[in-house]
Amino acid sequence: MSTKTDEKVGKYIQDVKDKTGDEPDVDLLRKVTESCGPSIFRSDAETVSSSSESELETVKRNFLIKKLGLKDDEKLDVGLNAVMEKYGKSNRNKYRAVVYYLLTKHFKKESVFK
């Protein structure tokens, strides 16, 4: 039986493959997606605007620092930029769950979701 979350995860798996060329860690992607809670079902909250400084600040504060437990230093900006670059700067639909998944992989914080 497919849930709405399963449908989202399926969409995100395809997105990771299409945009980054990587074979995603489906288990990790599912856990990251579930950790986003109901926000992934609201169109305004499901995506991240990489051109919005305030949005990137929010990702940094709420996900990198609070969720992943990283310390607030320039490495966060470098990592965020690297992930946005990898996901495709011109790609307008950056799914929040995929951004968080890519950040989790980038900072090697998979253990947070185990």
Domain 4-112, CATH class in plain words: mainly alpha
Amino acid 31: pLDDT: 97
Rounded distance, CA 19 to CA 98, Å?
A: 10
pLDDT per residue over 11-64, tens digit each?
A: 999 999 999 999 999 999 999 999 999 999 998 899 999 889 999 999 999 999
Lookup: tokens for 100? 């968080």
Task: Indicate if the pLDDT at residue 89 is higher than 90.
Answer: no
Domain extents for the chain? 4-112
Q: Where are the alpha helices (DSSP H) in 1-114?
A: 4-20, 26-35, 43-46, 53-58, 74-87, 96-106
Task: Indicate if the pLDDT at residue 1 is higher than 60.
Answer: no
> What is this structure's pTM?
0.95
Instruction: Calculate the average pLDDT of the chain.
Output: 94
